[in-house]
């Protein structure tokens, strides 16, 4: 199962790499420079999960209108000032605060990635020179954390600490969400509702009903996958909250039942998604002959939706890249087999940790051990949602592209007409 998912992630990730901008490519290169540890992959998966949850906020949690400012905020590039702020702020995290004390010993004991080792004797030196403390996708993920949760780290969700339950996977379990925008005029609860408002009135009810049925189907799949992941984690840990779990046989029996149910629910969800997408395609055709290009707010709303859709699409490819790289590195560098050596390296490196950071170092190791139990369930669920978000965002982008393209054509025609009249006056 793991091998099949890894192959699918790798193939799909290669296709997406050229479509997702430089962040994913930079992340790919960065992953080959780092020490091949399970901890690095656990953190990379945490970033993928964060991006998926940020996508969920943008797609379903943020009210939007023609004059909303937040779409341009999330679509903006990260600047050097924000990077410097994150470099400083992340130093309070147990991993980032202590990683530079352990890198040398871990590289000595665990070596470099298989691809980097092919460079021969200069591999380690190359890795030391090129390795980054904060990966490219980590910057992108935390850029949105700042937007949604403010600059005070006390308000941020616990990104690198996997929750002990996979329920409500798409939501951050903690953090203090900030009000970042107060849109006026016609305000829609989500970009999905806003998209429907752009379509001809006779299609809106069918679109709304289909969207609700699709989202309900997704929730049922999510609930089932969460239950599967929780059981898999129990089977791996064999204990939960200090109490002995049900027998391994009982858990495996329940797991088989849930896996069968999950396939059935996914099939239903696929059908519901196909119905909604078919209606969106129908709406796209209808829009071409029924759009109000004289309404400035109509165009502005389409532009805001388009920006968000593109950002969700980009985020989905970045999340998928994170999951694919993590599984690829685990598979190609014998990371699971080397985990005991990794833990030994961390134990030996403890003597190099300053006294004031010893408690953070203990937190780092405890977090790694706990997170390793929930690694695969988070990859499976996160990858499922990344694909769902990608396909939905592309549909919304394509639909709004029709409106924006028509608006641009109209502006060009008007400009050409104005220029011709001006030239006529001059003649």
Cβ atoms within 10 Å of 275's Cβ, excluding its own = 16
- Predicted local distance difference test score (pLDDT) of residue 239: 54
122 is written with which tokens?
């200069």
The residue among 33, 31, 32, 36 whose CA lies nearest residue 335 is: 36
Q: How do the pLDDT tens digits run along the chain, 427 residues long?
A: 554 554 454 444 444 444 444 677 778 777 777 889 999 999 999 999 999 999 999 999 999 999 999 999 999 999 999 999 999 999 999 999 999 999 989 988 998 776 665 555 555 555 555 566 788 899 999 999 999 999 999 999 999 999 878 888 899 989 999 888 877 788 999 999 999 999 999 999 999 999 999 999 998 998 898 888 888 888 877 654 444 456 788 888 999 999 999 999 999 999 999 999 999 999 999 998 888 888 999 999 999 999 999 999 999 999 998 999 999 889 888 899 999 999 999 999 999 999 999 999 999 999 999 999 889 889 989 999 999 999 999 999 999 999 999 988 887 777 777 677 777 777 6
| CA–CA separation, 268 and 213 (whole Å) | 10
| CA–CA separation, 329 and 284 (whole Å) | 41
- Domain ranges in the chain are 2-183+298-426, 201-289
HSE of 426, CA atoms in CB hemisphere, 13 A: 6
| CA–CA separation, 261 and 269 (whole Å) | 12
Q: What is the pTM of this model?
A: 0.88
312 is written with which tokens?
């969700």
DSSP 179: -
The torsion angles phi and psi of 240, rounded to 5 degrees, stand at: -145, 125
DSSP 61: I
- Predicted local distance difference test score (pLDDT) of residue 17: 42
The torsion angles phi and psi of 135, rounded to 5 degrees, stand at: -75, 160
- Predicted local distance difference test score (pLDDT) of residue 242: 45
Cβ atoms of residues 213 and 272 within 8 Å: yes
HSE of 111, CA atoms in CB hemisphere, 13 A: 13
- Predicted local distance difference test score (pLDDT) of residue 260: 94
């Amino acid at each position: 199962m793991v091998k099949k998912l890894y192959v699918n992630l790798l193939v799909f990730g290669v296709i997406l790499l050229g479509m997702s901008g430089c962040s994913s490519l930079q992340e790919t290169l960065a992953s080959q420079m780092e020490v091949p540890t399970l901890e690095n992959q656990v953190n990379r998966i945490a970033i993928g999960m964060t991006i998926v949850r940020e996508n969920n906020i943008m797609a379903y949690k943020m009210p939007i209108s023609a004059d909303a400012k937040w779409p341009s905020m999330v679509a903006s590039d990260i600047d050097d000032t924000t990077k410097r702020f994150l470099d400083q702020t992340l130093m309070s995290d147990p991993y980032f605060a202590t990683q530079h004390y352990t890198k040398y010993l871990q590289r000595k004991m665990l070596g470099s990635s298989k691809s980097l080792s092919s460079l021969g004797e200069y591999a380690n030196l190359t890795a030391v020179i090129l390795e980054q403390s904060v990966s490219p996708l980590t910057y992108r993920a935390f850029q949105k954390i700042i937007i949604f949760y403010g600059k005070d780290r006390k308000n941020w969700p616990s990104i690198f600490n996997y929750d002990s339950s996979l329920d409500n996977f798409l939501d951050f379990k903690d953090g203090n969400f900030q009000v970042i925008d107060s849109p006026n005029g016609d305000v829609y609860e989500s970009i999905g509702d806003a998209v429907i408002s752009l379509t001809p009135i006779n299609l809106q009810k069918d679109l709304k009903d289909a969207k609700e049925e699709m989202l309900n189907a997704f929730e049922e799949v999510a609930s089932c996958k969460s239950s599967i992941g929780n059981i898999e984690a129990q089977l791996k840990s064999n204990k939960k909250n200090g109490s002995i779990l049900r027998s391994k046989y009982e858990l495996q029996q329940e797991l088989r039942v849930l896996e069968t149910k999950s396939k059935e629910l996914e099939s239903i969800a696929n059908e519901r998604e196909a119905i909604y997408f078919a209606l969106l395609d129908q709406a796209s055709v209808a829009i071409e002959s029924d759009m109000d290009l004289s309404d400035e707010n109509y165009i502005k709303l389409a532009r805001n939706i388009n920006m968000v859709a593109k950002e969700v699409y980009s985020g989905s490819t970045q999340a998928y890249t994170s999951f694919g790289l993590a599984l690829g590195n685990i598979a190609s560098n014998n990371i699971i087999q080397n985990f005991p050596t990794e833990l030994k390296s961390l134990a030996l490196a403890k003597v190099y940790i300053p006294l004031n950071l010893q408690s953070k170092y203990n937190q780092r190791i405890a977090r790694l051990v706990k997170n390793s139990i929930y690694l695969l369930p988070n990859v499976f669920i996160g990858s499922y949602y990344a694909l769902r978000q990608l396909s939905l965002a592309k549909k919304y982008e394509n639909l709004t592209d029709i409106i924006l393209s028509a608006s641009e054509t109209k502006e060009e025609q008007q400009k050409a007409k104005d220029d011709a009249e001006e030239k006529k006056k001059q003649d």
